[in-house]
Amino acid sequence: MNILVSDSLSPKGVEVLERAGFSVAVKTKLSKEELLQEISNYEALIVRSATKVTKEVIEAGGRLRIVGRAGTGLDNVDTEAATRRGVVVMNTPGGNTITTAEHTMSMIAAMSRKIPQATKSMKDGKWEKSKFMGSELYNKTLGLVGLGQIGSYVTKLAQGWSMNVIGYDPYLAVDRAQQMGIEVVELEELFHRADVISVHTPLTNETRGIINTETMAKMKDGVMIVNCARGGIINEQDLGEALQSGKVAAAAFDVFEKEPVDPNHPLLSLDNFTCTPHIGASTEEAQENVAIGIAEQFVDYFKRGIARGAVNVPSVAPEALPQLQPYLSLAERMGRFQAQMLDGGLKSVTVEYVGEVSQLSVAPITVAILKGLLSPILEDVINFVNAPIVAKERGIEVKEVKSSDAGDFTSLIRIKVETGQKTYNLAGTLFHRQEPRIVEINEFQVEVVSEGHMILIDNVDRPGVIGMVGQILGKHEVNIARMQCSRAERGESALLIIGLDSPLAAPVVDLLKQEKDILSVRMVDLD
């Protein structure tokens, strides 16, 4: 087995692979052209963040069976292209949990005691003791937006400093929060009460710019804000204005919307802004852990056929995968779709398998649904290994039901999700046993191509609504890729589903919501 390591990796990871009998070549800083030449000689590739594993690279790797990321993020790996070629993609989720949580707390301490500013002052030859009056964290309230693995560990650290921790996470079970000693509150209450706010969510349509001028107006005067999660969650321009006005006393970022950051970025000129160049996971211990972790996962895969940490395939027998793969793709897309339709925290998920699919081993398909359902709403990296564990930890009940009669379809997968507020239903199937389609959305019969960007509009079943929507989109130069309309009963409500070439801008969404015959507007992104 020949393995290429194309980015710097702890030698201990290489040692694990060599002890298992694999041939390992460490060739870092390869150019794109050099990588395309080299990759054809290897069955496996290990990268960190520098190497770009593009579709072109994957296609050039004729012998390539697995790509491993020693770390969490997979922005540099074309997972979709790998899946199409049957290449397994793995990462090491949780490898940076502790180090990122520690970095978050370090940022909070640095802000509260003005450590970077005092350091610069002293290096400039000054002794400005009175200038750097700080504030204690003791008995202060820390508000955590997102309570995944990193947010949970930040909680432990903050409680060790005698901070009061409140959190917003609609997908966390109440009893789990109580065990952690966290008071779960609504987002608006968190903004109102917290002395320090730290975000720990993924970047989605819902979380992009969640902290902005409007939400900061609800916060305490002199609040401190931290982002060691994803760039874009906090509106950087709005934050700059709040830092200048004093509404926000201090802010600290490890991540930015665009990286590397422009040296002329307005935030960098502010004395009350602390920043680091995306080093939250950059500790010797974390890098050693992820190197050993990905190496051990490779050994498990090649020696035992176990795909631990795989993000695009479950751990199933290789001979069963071709039959399951189309259903796995459908299931994950259905889960992602459903996640973006929900209001309120997840309570239970019931998956009904009908027709031919009920005769298969459906456990991996259920896991694929959970992976799709949880990935858009949690900061944690969700894969085929940890999805059931995360669901259990969050108190989400998962059920499977099988039946033989699929009616008009050969096979049908139906997902019923219960939240604290509502029940959501979704059904999907495979056309020609290969092409994924969503065929039911709650009470509406549809035929939705489950890909790309979509806008779902609940509206009154009345003449002129479709034309009005088309006019608004056309006025703002939004191209419609596909469109369909469904209704349950004449003259009542209808569902308009529009496929778009790109996500719809928030101002256009707001314009649609203002129309009297529009009941709700939701963006769904399956890219």
Q: Which residues are catalytic?
A: 230, 259, 278
C-alpha to C-alpha distance for 45 and 58, rounded to whole angstroms: 10
Q: Do the Cβ atoms of 74 and 93 come closer than 8 Å?
A: no
Measured from the Cβ of residue 30, the count of other Cβ atoms closer than 10 Å reads: 17
The residue type of 35 is L
Helices (H) and strands (E) in the chain, counts: 17, 22
State the helix-helix crossing angle for 284-299 and 11-19, rounded to 10 degrees.
Answer: 20
Of 511, 526, 510, nearest to 497 by C-alpha is: 526
φ and ψ at 293, to 5 degrees? -60, -50
Of 327, 421, 412, 331, nearest to 374 by C-alpha is: 331
Q: Do the Cβ atoms of 275 and 253 come closer than 8 Å?
A: yes
State the helix-helix crossing angle for 363-374 and 321-339, rounded to 10 degrees.
Answer: 30
SS (H, E, C) 51-113: CCECHHHHHHCCCCCEEEECCCCCCCECHHHHHHCCCEEECCCCCCHHHHHHHHHHHHHHHHC
Region of 421 on the Ramachandran plot (φ > 0 left; ψ -120 to 50 alpha; else beta): alpha
Q: Enumerate residues 6+ apart whose C-beta is below 8 A from 349.
A: 369, 370, 373, 391, 396, 397, 398, 399, 415, 416, 417, 418
The whole-angstrom distance between residue 419's C-alpha and the CA centroid of its chain comes to 20
Q: Do the Cβ atoms of 401 and 353 come closer than 8 Å?
A: yes
C-alpha to C-alpha distance for 240 and 269, rounded to whole angstroms: 10
Sequential DSSP letters for 176-210:
HHHHHT-EE--HHHHHHH-SEEEE-----TTTTT-
Q: Do the Cβ atoms of 508 and 455 come closer than 8 Å?
A: no
The whole-angstrom distance between residue 336's C-alpha and the CA centroid of its chain comes to 11
Query: How many Cα atoms sit within 13 Å of 324 on the Cβ side?
Result: 23
Terminal Cα distance for the chain, rounded: 33
Strand bridging mode 164-168 / 183-184: parallel
What tokens does 19 get? 């002890």
Q: Do the Cβ atoms of 92 and 311 come closer than 8 Å?
A: no
